Each structure stands twice: as structure tokens, then as C-alpha cells.
Amino acid sequence: MTGASGRVALVTGGARGIGAGIASRLAADGWRVVVADRDPAGAAPIGTAPIGTAPAGGRFVLCDVGDEAAVARLVADVDGTEQRLDALICNAGFMIRKPVRDLSLAEWSSVLATNLTSIFLLVRGFETMLRTARGAVVTIASTRAHMSEPDTESYSASKGGVVALTHALAVSLGPEVRVNCISPGWIFTKGPQPTPEEHAFHPAGRVGTVEDIAGLAAFLIGPESHFITGAEFVVDGGVTRKMIYPE
């Protein structure tokens, strides 16, 4: 518990993965957590409450954060129910991996809508509440904002946009609201366990965990980070600092 009692945090994409880890961490720290996700299957990320009921320390709202009307409903819901917002964690995101020649405009737009435009919609909707609370925003970008594999254009473009949007918002919303970005590297959330070789590839000696991201997010919305805004924090076990040449 870090003295967050009475303060409210909204975590998008918090039904599973990194978002669920952040929601759990913040609830354990004493935050009241609202999780907004389009996946109703993960409606109890903070505890074991069944869908539609409020888990200890928080509640779930079904919302597609890339949809303007849905975000407007979410803002009205939080305004009416919690009546305040102290922290906004913009975590929802997904990737389409496809050769650019096969990528439709609808697919490109759907990635941009969830990964980037949602942050604009959420911050615009919650600006007054965040200013009143002297709150903080954390955006989740990716190391793919800075480096790429083939066939990831829409995702990389969206995450580069998140980094830029973060510093633009920090300048516009300060001094009342701080805005910072976390760019994760490989954070293990699903799929086969990383191999020993994959762990060893990281200068830190291992693949990341959701707790690695959740701990930093908790710091960035807490009082000890008060002099930090507009910054990007790369959390990747050192991979983007590792020089690689062909054997």
C-alpha cells in the first residue's frame, strides 16, 4: 500500500497481459482501479470476481477505446460513478503482421485507432478530471517505435506516434498533469515459454514480466516521479542497446 487510497486509476486493455498486471499492482497499492477492455472474457483481472461484478479494488467497463462514442460513454461512466480520475494508463494495443502490399486501409486504420487515436480520445475526454486531480498519464508504446521487423508498418507507426504524442501532451497539460511513456521490449504474457537462449539474448539475462512494467507504471503515477514528464522509458532488458553484426 502506497497511500493511494481514494485515488482512481483507469487502465485500458486491462483484461489480460500487461494491463492486467498494472491493474493488479495498482489495486494492491490501494488505488481504485477501473479496467476498460473490449474483451469481456477478462472482466475480473484484479481478483476472481465473475464477469459483471466488481472485483476487490476495482470494476470492469466494456469499451473499444478506438471508438469515439464508446470512449465518450466511458468518460461519462467514470464521471458519474467514481467522479474523479487521478491516473490514466493507456495500455490497449495490438499488432497486425502483414506485408505492406497486402495491408488494407481498414487494417491500418484499426491499428492506428486502438494504439494511437485512443490516447487522444481518452486524454481529451478526461482532461478536466485529470487537471482537477493533478493527475498523471502513462502511455504504453514499444521498442518497435525505434526498431522493426518486416511487415509491422502499422504497429511501428502507431507506437512512434505514441512516443511523440506523449511529449506533446506533457507540454500541453503541464503543470497539472504529467504524461510519460513506457516502451516495453519483449514482455512474456502468452504463448510458449521463452527458451534459455531467448532469455540469454537479453543483456539483463531474461525476458521481461508484466511486473517489470507494472512497477514502473506505479512509480510514474506516484508522488516520487513528480519531476518527470514527457519522458520515454525503454524497458527491454537492454536489447535496444545491444549491437548486432552478422556472424
* Residues forming the site for ligand NDP (CB under 6 A): 12-13, 15-19, 37-39, 42, 63-66, 91-94, 114, 140, 142, 184, 186-187, 189-190
In angstroms, give the least distance from the CB of 141 to ligand NDP: 7
Q: What is the DSSP string of 140-195?
A: E--GGGT---TT-HHHHHHHHHHHHHHHHHHHHHTTT-EEEEEEE--B--SSSPPP
In angstroms, give the least distance from the CB of 139 to ligand NDP: 9
192-203 burial, b at 16+ Cβ within 10 Å, e below that, comes to eebeeeebebbe
Give the C-alpha separation, 32 to 29, whole Å.
Answer: 9
Yes or no: say if 179 and 135 are a contact pair by the CB < 8 Å rule. no
Task: Considering the complex, state which of residue 2 and residue 235 has its C-beta at the smaller distance from ligand NDP.
Answer: 235
Task: Considering the complex, state which of residue 70 and residue 173 has its C-beta at the smaller distance from ligand NDP.
Answer: 70
Task: Considering the complex, state which of residue 15 and residue 34 has its C-beta at the smaller distance from ligand NDP.
Answer: 15
In angstroms, give the least distance from the CB of 187 to ligand NDP: 4
Task: Considering the complex, state which of residue 108 and residue 186 has its C-beta at the smaller distance from ligand NDP.
Answer: 186
Task: Considering the complex, state which of residue 40 and residue 174 has its C-beta at the smaller distance from ligand NDP.
Answer: 40
In angstroms, give the least distance from the CB of 195 to ligand NDP: 16
In angstroms, give the least distance from the CB of 38 to ligand NDP: 4
From the list 60, 126, 155, 201, the catalytic residue is: 155
The answer to whether 245 is a known catalytic residue is: no
Q: Which residues are catalytic?
A: 155
